[in-house]
Amino acid sequence: MPKILSIQDLSCYGQCSNSVALPILSTFGIETIILPTMILSTHTGGFKNIYIQDLSESIDKICQSWQDNNISFDAIYIGYLGSTKLIEKTITIIKLFKKRNTLVFFTPACADNGKLYQGFNDNYLEKLRSLCFYADYIVANVTEAFFLMNCEYQAINHPNRIYELIHELTKKFLTNMIITGIEMNKDEIYVLFKQYHSHQITSFKEQKINGNYHGTGDIFLSYMIGKYFISHEMNISIQEAMKFVKDAIVLTKEDTNHSYGIKFEKVLRGFYEKANQSK
């Protein structure tokens, strides 16, 4: 079974980052090693009086211990990091632990709906661009895709512009690229996938459920990586991950008191039960 290192924050409350990566990847039977970059009382999208503890110093000691024990990983999954210093540390970790066959999945987790998340600025974005060069797959929402390319965000997702953008990004960062959350019309949501070595762009669509929820990107990517390590088929992994997110949003919408994250747990349990019935 593969071992995946997940480097992102631990938001205690809020259903995002390591709190969703761990259960989702584990359900796929993947050994998941979490490296929290910081601990936050909640995620930064809409809560007040957020307590944040930066774990930079602990990270150095944890990595030293891993090296001393010859610990290695089949993939490194990088999400929300939190500071430019933590981005630099993540690059060091990639250099230490990426072996010839280690896949690096990276989502910049820094912006949505045309805006950077609270606490981030152009310096943070510039450092994220330097991390992009170490990724085998970059997975970005439309806002992050525009920002990584240093282009102005366009709220209306004209297909031609997004196709052009994905070409530009793969060329700039020399990597495979996935753009999520593309709204080409009012009823459907699209994901585009372009492999670095191919000119072809594959598009995937799913029914669009209205509403804005935090952590959709994390749930999408955790499921996509989990499925990829089981199936070795990226197209199937993307399509199933889109359905997983859609089903979880449908469930979340039923609960009008729950707006800070996605109720993915029941959908995950259904997936687990279905997978085990067929055994």
* Positions that interact with ligand PXL (CB under 6 A): 9, 11, 16-17, 40, 43-45, 80, 109, 117, 214-215, 217-218
- What are the φ/ψ torsions at residue 183 (nearest 5 degrees)? -105, 90
- Cα(208)–Cα(163) distance, integer angstroms: 20
If the CB atoms of residues 107 and 176 are measured against ligand PXL, the closer one turns out to be 107
Work out how close the CB of 72 gets to ligand PXL at its nearest, in angstroms, rounded to a whole number.
Answer: 26
Quote the least distance from Cβ 67 to ligand PXL, whole Å.
27
In Å, what is the CA distance from 217 to each residue of 1, 104, 180? 25, 17, 8
| Encoded amino acid at 224, one letter | M
- Amino acid identity, residue 151? C
Between 66 and 244, whose beta carbon lies closer to ligand PXL? 244
Nearest residue (CB) to ligand PXL, 78 versus 268: 78
CA gap 185, 188 in Å, rounded? 6
Rounded Cα distance, 38 and 171, in Å: 32
DSSP strand pairing (115-116 vs 111-112):
antiparallel
The smaller minimum CB distance to ligand PXL, of residues 2 and 217, is found at 217
List C-alpha distances in Å: 31 to 35, 101, 232, 236.
13, 17, 17, 21
Do residues 40 and 68 make contact, with C-beta atoms less than 8 angstroms apart? no
CB of residue 201 to ligand PXL, shortest distance in Å: 25
Nearer to ligand PXL, 93 or 140 (CB): 140
Which residue lies nearer to ligand PXL by CB, 214 or 227? Answer: 214
Minimum CB–partner distance for residue 111 and ligand PXL (Å)? 9
Element at 207 (helix H, strand E): strand 201-207
Whole-angstrom Cα distance, residue 35 to residue 156? 36
**What tokens were used for 255?**
């609960």
For residue 25, the minimal CB distance to ligand PXL (Å) is 15
CA dist 215 and 112 (Å) reads: 11
Minimum Å distance from CB 21 to ligand PXL?
A: 10
Query: Can you tell me the distance from the alpha carbon of 251 to that of 115, in angstroms, rounded to the nearest whole number?
Result: 27
Is the Cβ of residue 218 or residue 247 nearer to ligand PXL in the bound state?
218
Nearer to ligand PXL by Cβ, of 15 and 170: the residue is 15
Q: In sequence order, what are the residues at sequence separation of 6 or more whose Cβ sits closer than 8 angstroms to the Cβ of residue 182?
A: 142, 157, 162, 189, 190, 191, 192
Report the nearest approach of ligand PXL to the CB of residue 45 (Å): 4
CB of 123 to ligand PXL, least distance (A): 18
